[in-house]
Structure 1
Amino acid sequence: MTSVISGLNPSALWNNFAELSCIPRPSKQEEQVLAWLQEFAVSRELDWQQDDTGNIVIRRPGSGGGESAPTVVIQSHVDMVCEKNSDVEHDFTSDPISLLRDDGWLTADGTTLGADNGIGVATALALLEMKEDAKLPPLECLFTVDEETGLTGAFALDGNLLQGRTMLNLDTEEWGSICIGCAGGGDSQLSLPVSYEGAPGDFLSFQLSVEGLKGGHSGVDIHEYRANAIVLLASVLAPLAKMG
């Protein structure tokens, strides 16, 4: 694994990312990575706390003249999207991510890379282990759980963990830019009564599929107005229902 990141800088960041990539961390199954973060803090004699949801904060005092500066919170999430190619055998609950260097890019071998938000976690850890005389404000590095399936870790965060009033979220989408606001999000649950009836014996059955769409992130690419497979299929079926 270390040979894949050889020569990449800053080395502390990439070493942390490579080590993190060896730790399974599906959403709602982050126990191993949380234990790793605790060991990181203990081995470096850094103060840390964990709330009942699993979120962890690791603190580093200010240094190099930044001792009296306002505390800055650095936030990232520890879980990752777990997807693989259909021809790849991989168990995200036990197998490490296999890293590859491809034409100047760091990728994974047939699976998601986990840079969302592993690169944020690695960045925060690199800050925590900078030299003792590095000019830094007091840091509270917050690592939240279960972001990918509904932000439940952040929603349930115990606010008493944090003292800082300025936060930098490292789960970014656009290179070289800083987001200063967002629309937010929410979950809805809808329940309707459903009744079923058997199809007449002379009916024919068909299987419809919508394939070959470009896809994309439902939030980041929403302004692109790309085709959505669910919407397209519904637009085909709705007129049929009206026809009886």
Structure 2
Amino acid sequence: MDIDVANNYELIKFQDDNAVIVFSTAKNGLNYNKNEKIGLLNLEKIKKNYKLQGIGYLNQIHSDIILNFDGNIRDGDALITDKRKLAIGVFTADCVPVILVDTRLGVIAAVHSGWKGTKLMIVSKTIEKLMHDYGSSANDIKAYIGPHIDVCCYEVSSELVEEFTSEAIYSNIKISNGNKLDLEKCILTQLREKSIQEKNISTTNICTACNTQYELYSYRTCENKQGRMFSFVYLK
């Protein structure tokens, strides 16, 4: 994990031979809310700064809808592409951004996994779609988990905790601490259940609500409720 400071903006980056993965922060007010003019302008800057041909994103609706990117902005919560020099990404301000990279075939996915998407197993289903549509193998998939609200700060209803803990996939996993839910552990469980190797899973270990190292948007704790970070990936 590298920290890239460009134009006074702070970005958290991973990269391998095929792909570049970027998790934005809120340093100096960097905002990617696509419903605001400044957000659209900042998205266009990504194309220019990284010399990309395009940038793809969705109207996120907290679903398990996974789409192969076709150039249109559609409703859903995960995008997949095998096109080079094209970034795809998701917007977050507490939800979990997950990036998947098939390092052998050159296929990438960006996943928005809030509690609804996590409960709907969107990360698992995205891996299944990579396998079905592109022929991906679990051994070749790397996963990157970006900043999100962590179990230390994510308090939910006891009913929601029970909904999660009653799922068979989590039956032997401790995914809660009282009324605090661990979305990352749920997603890690989904990755492991799909046979993604431990060595191929990277996480930033950054809580959007309480970390003091980075400026981040948190819908629960940040004054700017409209602020959004953008997590994206592109093939070189």
TM-score of the aligned structures, taking structure 1 as reference length: 0.29
Q: Which has the higher strand share?
A: 2
